[in-house]
Every structure is written in C-alpha cells, then in structure tokens.
Amino acid sequence: MKEFLSNLKFAWKFAKGERAKLIKYILCNICMIIISVIVPIISAQIIISLTDSLFQQLLFLAVILCLVEWSRNVFNRLSMYYSQVIYRETFISLQTELGKEIMRLETSVIDKHGSGVFIQRLTNDTSRLASVFNILNQYLSNILTDIGIFVAMFIINFWAFLYMLIVIVILFLLERKRTNLYNESDKKFRKENEKVSSFVGEIIRGIRDIKMLHAEDSFSKELHKQVEELNLERYEMNAVNRRYVFKSAMLRDLFDMGLIFLLVYLILEGGLVAANALVIHNYAVRVPNIVWSVGILLDSIKDFNLSCERVFNIMYGNEYKKERFGFKHLAKVHGDFCFSHVNFHYEESGEVLKDLSFQVHANETVAFVGKSGAGKSTIFSLLCKLYPVDSGVITIDGTDINDLDQESIRGNITVISQNPYIFHVSIKDNLRLMKSDITEKEMIKACKLACIHDFIMELPDGYDTIVGEGGVNLSGGQRQRLAIARAFLQKTEIILFDEATSSLDNETQKEIQKAINNLKKNYTILIIAHRLSTIINSDRILFIESGQVVAEGTHKQLLKNCLGYKELYEAELKDKV
C-alpha cells in the first residue's frame, strides 16, 4: 500500500495541469453514488404506491425518478469528459518525459536490452500509469455504491444483510485466489511481449537484408515461435479468468436461490413485507459486484505498481545508465582533436581499442584503414561520445570531451554513415531537417558541392521528389551524396565519413570523391576507407590493427613502410583486375 501511495504521488505530478478537473471528476462520481442508492428506494416506493392504489403519489414519484435519472446522465457525461481529459494530459506529459529519458540513455544500454523493452514501456506502461485516476475513481465509486446499498439492506432487514455478508466473504476469498494467479501470469506475459516487440523491430529494420538473404522462412518460424509463447501466456491469463467467472457465476446463482428461500421464510414469519423483499432482491443482485470491483481494483493497483516500477527503472534506476556530459561549452570549434592512451571495450566484448593515441589537426583529412573489426567505427562512436572510454582521454580543441556539454560535441560533428538514413519526405524537406530556414540558393549550392544536384534535377519533381522510406529508391552512393549535402548545410567543423562497403560503380565513386574533395581544407575530415582509391589523396592515413595505430603516413609512405597496408592495396588492385 505504501508503494502504491508513493507511485500515486508520482502520477499526480504528471496530472498537474488537470488537478481541478480531477476534483470535479471525483465530485461527479460521488453524486452518482448517492443516486445509485436512492433509485431502488424510489422504485420500492412506487411499488408500494401501486399496491396501495395511491396513484397521485405514484405519478409524482415517477417524475422524481425521471429527474434523478436525468441528473445521473448529466453527471455521467461530465465524468466521462473529465476522465478522458485527465487521461490524455497525464499520458502526454508522462510519455514525453519518458521519451526524453530514453534518449538520454547510454548507447550500451540500448545495445544490451534491445528496442522492445523501451517501446513497451513507452506505449503500454505509460498508458496504464496514466489511467490510474480513472480506474481508481471508477472502481472506488462502484465499491462505495455497493457499500451504500449494503447499508440500506442492513436498515431494511438484518438477516438478509447477514446472509449477503457471508456470500460476499466466500466470493471474496475466491477472487483473491484469482488475482494472485492472474498477476503471476501478467508479469510473464509482459516479459514475453517485450521480447516479441524487440524481434518485430529487428525484422522491420532488417527487412531488406532478410529479403536479400531469402531468410523470410526462418524469420517467420522464429516469429511464430515467439508469438506462440506470448499467446500461451495470454491464454493462461484468460484461462485464470475463465475458470473464476464460471465458478463465481455458479455460486452466485446458488446464493440467489438461497436468498429467495430466506426472503419467503421471512415474509411467512411476518418479519418482512413483500415490497421490501423486492427491494432487497434488487439490491442483492448488485451486492456481489463489490467482490468483482474490489478484485479489479486490486488487479489494477498491482498492474499500476508494476508499470510504475518499469517506468521508474528507466527514469531513475541504476540498471539503465544515462549519458553524462560536462558543462563546458565551446561556442566555436576549430576541429583539432586527440585520442590519448584510450582503452575501450563493449559490454560483453574483449578489448577493442588498446592504448590508442593519435592527433588530428583542424582542417586535416585523415583516413583510417585496417581490416574489418580493427576498431575504426568504434573510434567514430567514441569521438561522438556514444560510449564512455574505459581509460585515457579524448579531447576536442584541447578540452576533454568529458568536460564538454552535449552541444559542443555532437553539435560540431557530422557523421555520414555507410547507409545514411534518408527520411520519407521530399529531398527538400530532408535537407530542411538540418536547417529549417535554409534558402533555395543554399540548398542548391550544397547539392552542387555534394555532386548530387544534377541527379536531383533529373528526377520528375526535382527537389520536391519524395524519397522512399529509408531512401530506398536512392542508391547507396546517392544516399551518401545527399548526406554530404546535409553535412555542408550543417556547417559543423568535423565530418566523420564512413565510406560505403558495398561496391559502388566507378562513376558514383568518382562523384563521391569529388564531393569529399569539395569538403577538404574547410573541414576536419575523418574517413573510414573501405577502398583505398578514395583516400590516396588524404593528408594522412592511419593504419589500424587490433585497436592500435600500427603505422601512419601518406599513401606512398605506407606503401613503402607498412606491410599490412601494402597487402590491402595489392589485394584491392587484384580485385579490380
């Protein structure tokens, strides 16, 4: 209960904009509770008037009943409105806040847990959390209504009241058993659900590769297996409810028969008049609902606590580490940076970078060459501070990146990845995402420098052409050139360029080369080169082997001094022949 109250306090924080409505919502529900208790009493009075032939009184009571019911409808309508507004506002602020926290997580946390955990918590758990006020209000109102009815029953006849009390205790014990079983299944169900969400996310992201590998069958089989396991859990949860509903319905019918026997006995004994017996029977139909309402309320509280735990874990827990940045802000970055004795390993991997040291000067173009898995991409990730280093220091313009704020690091670096993400909007809007106030002239200039302008002009709608999801109707080379145009617009001092591994035709490669040459001298450029022809003109080439710089120099120097580089170069020449 203590846990529930502190969780409720947390949810209350997010409903702050709508607290006045919450109070009005509660008042509406109190009015509806009072009406629920009054209505059976008026109905009984109508029957008494009928049996006593007091027709004038009967008509008067009928009008009163109608007015009372109308007011119930009005309160009900208001209550629905308030409940929806409160839910909406709480949900929006909660989901936005959690979204922000997820974006602050360390990259290694996302690597480790997969996307499903976060999708589920951001969608389902926040929704459950936001609905707590409505659920509380709804079921507490039901319970209070039933208690009111129960008290009215006590006033009319003690024996009938006692009988119903015993019925409630029996049904309550049954319900407790159900809630415990249900909650066990619910926990397992949510875990399975996260697994399936992660897997579906991966299928969608990797759909192109799955198709190309013709692996649809094995993915379908795995999906089938996971969905089957998930639905087994769902089936278990439903089975628990099914069994309970059956047992309790059978018992309720039996108890109803018992009540009729008791009421007839009381009438025959002269302890009860027929009209009151009718009121008691009307009440009795409702009273066992109290058990159901209490059950659902307890379920909902447990459900709410579980959702809170899952959301809190991300927001405040130690398991989900947040990125940390310093406070120093660099208004203008020149583009010098340095790795000094950097060691790094990924979670669950051996050491990837070992005592790595190198320096890059502003406006220099430096290429990283080495076998796949040598640690080249890792260097880029560390420079953007996607992962914290194990030891050693990385500096930008002489300042340790651990002391810099987020803007000074990521706001000054543009990454052009192997397969840049192009959004499903027009080319113009793709470029505008980088700079909302971009002029037509700037856009064309950037595209010309990126050697993509001519291609765009050949498209049916030019710059207004919509490119497919993920830019699928652009080739790899075109995507990279569009990303280079974005980099021109971003005007960051440092550009990290991960050359596409897939072989590009000579023409495209030349265009990309031209685009990179246009960037040179005005930017600090780091290139991960998969084809040495791209980087022959770099100012410097660093040859990376097992996370260390084993040689550095110009192309010519490395050909002479570095056997590994020479072998790579010769292998590439052979491939071309």
Q: What are the residues binding ligand ADP (CB under 6 A)?
A: 111, 346, 349, 352, 370, 372-378
> Could you count the other beta carbons within 10 Å of the beta carbon of residue 38?
16
Considering only CA atoms, which of 171, 354, 378, 363 is closest in space to residue 256?
171
Distance CA 334, CA 337 (A): 9
Considering only CA atoms, which of 66, 48, 69, 68 is closest in space to residue 58?
48
Considering only CA atoms, which of 286, 385, 270 is closest in space to residue 339?
385
What one-letter code names the amino acid at 118? F
Distance CA 456, CA 467 (A): 11
- Give the shortest CB-383-to-ligand ADP separation in angstroms: 12
- Give the shortest CB-112-to-ligand ADP separation in angstroms: 9
- Give the shortest CB-377-to-ligand ADP separation in angstroms: 3
Q: Which is nearer to ligand ADP, 22 or 544 (CB)?
A: 544
Considering only CA atoms, which of 226, 198, 474 is closest in space to residue 206?
198
Kindly give, in sequence order, each residue whose CB lies less than 8 Å from that of residue 315, ignoring residues fewer than 6 positions away. Answer: 97, 98, 101
Distance CA 95, CA 552 (A): 49
Q: Which is nearer to ligand ADP, 291 or 352 (CB)?
A: 352
Q: Which is nearer to ligand ADP, 160 or 352 (CB)?
A: 352
Contact 333, 363 (CB under 8 A): no
How far is C-alpha 574 from the chain's CA centre? 49
Q: Which is nearer to ligand ADP, 78 or 527 (CB)?
A: 527
Q: Which is nearer to ligand ADP, 352 or 568 (CB)?
A: 352
Distance CA 119, CA 102 (A): 10
What one-letter code names the amino acid at 454? D
- Give the shortest CB-351-to-ligand ADP separation in angstroms: 10
CA 246, 128, 141 angle in degrees (round to 5)? 65
Q: Which is nearer to ligand ADP, 40 or 375 (CB)?
A: 375
Work out whether strand 540-545 and strand 548-553 pair parallel, antiparallel, or are unpaired. antiparallel
Distance CA 249, CA 259 (A): 15
Q: Which is nearer to ligand ADP, 56 or 349 (CB)?
A: 349
- Give the shortest CB-502-to-ligand ADP separation in angstroms: 14
Q: Which residues pair with 365 in a beta bridge?
A: 525
Q: Which is nearer to ligand ADP, 330 or 360 (CB)?
A: 360
- Give the shortest CB-102-to-ligand ADP separation in angstroms: 18
Q: Which is nearer to ligand ADP, 390 or 505 (CB)?
A: 390
Q: Which is nearer to ligand ADP, 237 or 386 (CB)?
A: 386
- Give the shortest CB-348-to-ligand ADP separation in angstroms: 6
- Give the shortest CB-349-to-ligand ADP separation in angstroms: 4
How far is C-alpha 535 from the chain's CA centre? 41
Contact 431, 438 (CB under 8 A): yes
Contact 22, 133 (CB under 8 A): yes
- Give the shortest CB-373-to-ligand ADP separation in angstroms: 4
CA 376, 105, 124 angle in degrees (round to 5)? 130
- Give the shortest CB-201-to-ligand ADP separation in angstroms: 16
